[in-house]
């Protein structure tokens, strides 16, 4: 098989930039990404140093992040790729054209995403959208899913299960872990002084301030925490449509001195420094890559268990092991008591830090993601011989 490897991705978010750069350096993968992205998307202003092709993208409904048609023809004609990897969603309309054209261009097609929707479950017997996902799995040449759990759920529906691979969804951990090591040399107390963290205990939230994450409930939980642990501060990093309501809730609750809203911080290093200085990350719902960011800086995390309150987590929930790398509360009401008990338990903090370091190394390092890409590429190249 000859030709370049292209990767079609709707957007270039800031946290993916170093990953795409490394994929180019390690595997020669050329990123093809949309020029404008959907409405309200945070795009990286800085491009990877490797080859990047910006292509026209059309969103019929700008607020629908995955409903898009991308102009795939210029990079296909320019590079004549041997392999095409594409971000997968059943709503990315240009993917259907990629599937159709592969017989004419002669490339192998790999789809990459969670594949299934972890927030809605997976029921191919009853769900038309899940039937369509299975159809895609059986017509592409290889599948890259985000997690071991995703692979396990897909394999029974794949006619050829050996073509399903895992590229653990993560951040560019080498850079983050290098910063963590430098912060460890300074020590947590010194980093807290540099940041002006004066309280005894610190909680942190990172993520978009959207209704699905229920950021207002975070304030309710924190109010219950400080009744048990008064010398505590909550740091909220993120922006979004719920920010004004959140600021109002903080004012009305009289918590301005104990809650700080920083807005969006796209600098993963600064956010990492604040995570390192914190005792616990609190992300009750819609857990995603924030867990990897927290773990890279030795910070355990508390969230809601899947079930009673339907917290709609992403695949990354598998990194949170109860009592080992984090905590899982049954309800928001029970979360405050668990946080307060954890803050006072130095022995548990130390044991979790050790477990977290092993989790990053074993499961959610960038090397694990890179291995998934290599395995899928090797597989389609072998099949072509």
Domain spans in the chain, listed from the N-terminal domain onward: 5-170+365-384, 173-362
CATH of domain 173-362: 3.40.50.2000
User: Using the 8-state DSSP alphabet, how is residue 92 labeled?
Assistant: B
**Token pair listed for 323:** 């009592």
Which residue is it, tokens 């005792």?
279
- Radius of gyration of the chain measured on its C-alpha atoms: 22
**Token pair listed for 373:** 């890409």
Taking domain 5-170+365-384, whether its CATH number is 3.40.50.2000 is answered by: yes
pLDDT of residue 1: 42
Inter-residue contact 261 to 230 (CB < 8 Å): no
Gap between the Cα atoms of 216 and 205, Å rounded: 12
Query: One fold for both 5-170+365-384 and 173-362?
Result: yes
Indicate whether this model's pTM tops 0.85: yes
Per-residue CA distances from 244 to 42, 203, 223, 241 (Å): 19, 21, 19, 7
Torsion, Cα of 27, 28, 31, 32 (10° steps): -130
pLDDT of residue 23: 95
Q: 75-92 burial, b for 16+ CB within 10 Å, e for fewer?
A: bbeebebbbbbbbbbbeb
Gap between the Cα atoms of 192 and 197, Å rounded: 5
Strand order in 52-55's β-sheet? 52-55, 29-34, 5-9, 83-87, 108-112, 142-145, 164-166
Indicate if the alpha-carbon torsion angle 28, 34, 36, 38 is positive or negative: negative
Name the 3-class secondary structure at 51: coil
Inter-residue contact 244 to 252 (CB < 8 Å): no
User: Using the 8-state DSSP alphabet, how is residue 47 labeled?
Assistant: P
pLDDT of residue 38: 76
Instruction: Give the helix/strand (H/E) hosting 233.
Output: strand 232-237
Gap between the Cα atoms of 125 and 348, Å rounded: 43
**Token pair listed for 98:** 């990629």
Low-confidence spans in the chain with pLDDT less than 70: 1-2, 39-50, 308-310, 385
Our CA angle for 283, 284, 289, nearest 5°, is 45
pLDDT of residue 385: 65
Gap between the Cα atoms of 170 and 295, Å rounded: 11
pLDDT of residue 117: 76
Per-residue CA distances from 162 to 7, 117, 244 (Å): 22, 21, 49
**Token pair listed for 88:** 């997968």
Inter-residue contact 55 to 71 (CB < 8 Å): yes
Gap between the Cα atoms of 159 and 21, Å rounded: 34
Gap between the Cα atoms of 29 and 21, Å rounded: 9
Gap between the Cα atoms of 70 and 93, Å rounded: 8
């Amino acid at each position: 098989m000859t030709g370049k490897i292209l990767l079609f991705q709707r957007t270039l978010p800031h946290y993916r930039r170093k990953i795409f750069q490394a994929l180019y350096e390690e595997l020669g993968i050329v990123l093809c990404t949309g020029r404008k992205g959907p409405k309200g998307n945070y795009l990286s202003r800085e491009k990877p140093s490797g080859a990047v092709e910006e292509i026209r993208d059309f969103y019929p409904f700008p607020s629908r992040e995955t409903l898009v048609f991308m102009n795939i023809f210029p990079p296909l004609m320019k590079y004549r790729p041997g392999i095409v990897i594409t971000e997968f969603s059943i709503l990315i309309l240009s993917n259907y054209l990629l599937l159709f054209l592969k017989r004419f261009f002669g490339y192998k097609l790999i789809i990459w995403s969670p594949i299934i929707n972890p927030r809605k479950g997976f029921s191919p017997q009853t769900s038309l959208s899940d039937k369509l996902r299975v159809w895609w799995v059986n017509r592409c040449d290889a599948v890259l899913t985000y997690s071991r759990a995703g692979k396990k759920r897909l394999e029974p529906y794949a006619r050829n299960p050996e073509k399903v691979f895992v590229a653990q969804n993560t951040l560019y951990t080498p850079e983050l872990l290098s910063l963590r090591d430098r912060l460890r040399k300074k020590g947590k107390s010194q980093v807290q002084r540099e940041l002006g963290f004066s309280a005894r205990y610190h909680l942190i939230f990172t993520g978009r301030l959207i209704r699905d994450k229920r950021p207002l409930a975070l304030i309710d939980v924190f109010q219950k925490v400080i009744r048990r642990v008064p010398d505590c501060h909550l740091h909220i990093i993120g922006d979004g449509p719920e920010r004004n309501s959140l600021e109002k809730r903080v004012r009305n609750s009289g918590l301005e001195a104990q809650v700080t809203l920083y807005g969006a911080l796209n600098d993963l290093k600064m956010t990492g420094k604040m995570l390192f200085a914190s005792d616990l990350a609190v992300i009750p719902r819609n857990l995603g890559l924030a867990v990897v960011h927290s773990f890279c800086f030795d910070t355990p995390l508390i969230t809601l268990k899947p079930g009673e309150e339907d917290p709609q987590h992403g695949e990354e929930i598998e990194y949170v092991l109860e009592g080992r790398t984090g905590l899982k509360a049954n309800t928001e009401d029970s979360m405050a008591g668990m946080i307060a008990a954890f803050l006072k338990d130095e022995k548990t903090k130390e044991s979790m830090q050790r477990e977290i370091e092993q989790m990053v190394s074993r499961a959610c390092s960038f090397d694990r993601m890179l291995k998934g890409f290599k395995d899928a590429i090797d597989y389609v190249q072998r099949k072509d011989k």
